[in-house]
Chain A
Amino acid sequence: MPQNADPRAQQNAMHALYSDNHSWLYTWIRKRLDNQFDAADLTQDTFMRIHSRQEADKIHEPRAYLVTVAKGIISHFYRRKSLEDAYLEYVALLPDPVTRSQEHAHIVLQTLEQVDTLLNDLPHNVKKVFLMSQIEGKKYQEIADEMGLSLISIKRYMKQAYVQCLTLMEDDFFE
């Protein structure tokens, strides 16, 4: 939290924002999801996000602001669902899905989501190169040959991907 935020002003603004808006926001989100339960969760997430930013007292257009934040949260929600879907489709093809323990599956899925978030905004080719290197374990030269690109380009992509990941990681990311 920024230290210059006036706690009392924050508190009053958050009170007002929450009580004036949570009802319509819940309805708004509900219309965009097929599940009331998730809608309630995402409504909470929206206020949580604003609370953590400590910006409640600087909002002039609450509806527009809340909708903007909520859209980001819904988009993230669907992104996570699509990841889970891909995960499920893959795991369903495994000969013996039972051998993977539940706890292990949760940890893997969580790490996948985190890595996915880090790579989310990278250009397609950059992400592809990064995954070939890190997941498939290919050498830079092999990737260059396979993709018909110069070694210099591959290195530039790798650096771009690494810098993006390291930039987006909070100090306690993955904990």
Chain B
Amino acid sequence: MNKVNTTVAKHSLEKAAEWLMKSEEAPLSSEEQAQLEQWQAASPDNTRAWLRAQRLMGQVETLPKDIAAAVLNRPDNEARRVAIGKLALLLAAGPVIWGSYKTVETQQWTADYRTAKGEVQDITLPDGSLVKLNTATAFDMNFDRHSRLITLREGEIRLQAASVNANEFGPLRIQTHEGTLSPHGSLLTIRQCEGTTQLAAVKGDVHVAPRLATATDDKVIQSGYQAQLSSYALLSSQLITPETNAWIDRMLAANKMPLKEFAQEVSRYRHGFLRVSPDVENLMVSGSFPTSNTDTILTMLTHTYPIKATQHLGGYWVTLEAV
């Protein structure tokens, strides 16, 4: 998105292709190298074409030959379906799970996980459950034969619960500042907000127990619903909106969100201060924005809405205000 000058003149691309082929047939002589230098400096399009050529070669070289041959030569079949999550399971079957199995004699696993601002991480827990940590997130894990407890300290996670042998692992619970969640299903997201817990029961119901409420106040959030929880009660619940879990795809999605609130969301992914001037704080923002680059988000905002971003301290302090 937000790209400018994405096209490069065709003849520049063709020439770059010819140079690549020439260099593959035989090493370039010093004379040819000088010609190449001259050509690629002759126009901005040539320069960009050659940069792309070099980048393409650089990436292809990084690929393990055996895997690349098997994967890129696979038969075309777009309708072929893959069990969701199978890949993540395999990728995660690396150091984490093997490290954990070494301690199987003690029948107990404990670990703390944390992501920095702007970082996203996938973790496999010893029972095979998968956790995706969003930006600035921390949780602790305490698993033993009797219980599996995840304590979310801050931030946001997606938990894909594995089905386990009940003799080997106890029931799974997630504890936040506000209370305890017991998922009956396999997929949910939980976010620790200031003074509240937000959860989305993506697949399967979630039993919710506010910390300071009596057991009779416990609630069940049905599959497909999201909810907000205080220490005393369930504050609200509604159908899961597409915006709630856009972060999984590293997107920030807004549907008529006031700019002030939107800026707070952006700040979760961004170092420094993002201030919103009072005259635009109620401007309604809609759309999807990439959380992997908050500068891009600011550019998209200033292109779409009548606001400007004034930067101080080399971008560390940014003020959004009316144009």
Contacts and interface: CB of A to CB of B under 8 A. Distances in A.
B71 interface: yes
Interface residues of A, number: 80
A83 B253 CA distance: 27
Interface string B29-58: 000000000000000000011011101101
Contacts of A85: 80, 82, 86-87
Interface in A114-135: 114-116, 118-119, 127-128, 131, 133-135
A152 interface: no
25 contacts: A1-B1, A14-B287, A19-B255, A34-B81, A37-B203, A40-B242, A44-B251, A48-B1, A52-B2, A78-B79, A81-B80, A83-B74, A85-B87, A98-B98, A102-B122, A112-B68, A127-B72, A134-B60, A135-B72, A163-B14, A163-B17, A166-B13, A170-B6, A173-B55, A174-B55
Interface stretch (B145-153, B260-268, B270-278, B301-309): B301-309
A109 B71 CA distance: 10
B215 interface: no
Interface residues of B, number: 82
A7 B304 contact: yes
A155 B94 contact: no
Nearest to B78: A78
Given A36-B202, A44-B249, A102-B91, A115 B63 contact: yes
B81 A81 contact: yes
Contact of B18 (A34, A105, A159): A159
B59 interface: yes
Nearest to B86: A88
B78 A79 contact: yes
Interface in A75-116: 75, 78-79, 81-92, 97-98, 100-102, 105-109, 111-112, 114-116
Contacts of A165: 56
Interface of B: 1-6, 8, 10, 13-14, 16-18, 20-21, 24-25, 48-49, 51-53, 55-56, 58-60, 62-74, 77-82, 84, 86-87, 90-96, 98, 122, 187, 202-203, 224, 240, 242-246, 248-249, 251, 253, 255-256, 284, 286-288, 303-306
Given A38-B84, A112-B68, A44 B288 contact: yes
Contacts of A79: 78
Contact of A82 (B53, B82, B95, B253): B82
A11 B304 contact: yes
B286 A82 contact: no
B90 A135 contact: no
Contact of A114 (B59, B78, B256): B59
A89 B242 CA distance: 32
A48 B288 contact: yes
Nearest to A37: B202
Nearest to B243: A44
Find the residue from A133, A135, A165 having the highest chain B CB count within 10 A: A135
Contacts of A78: 78-81
Contacts of A173: 52, 55
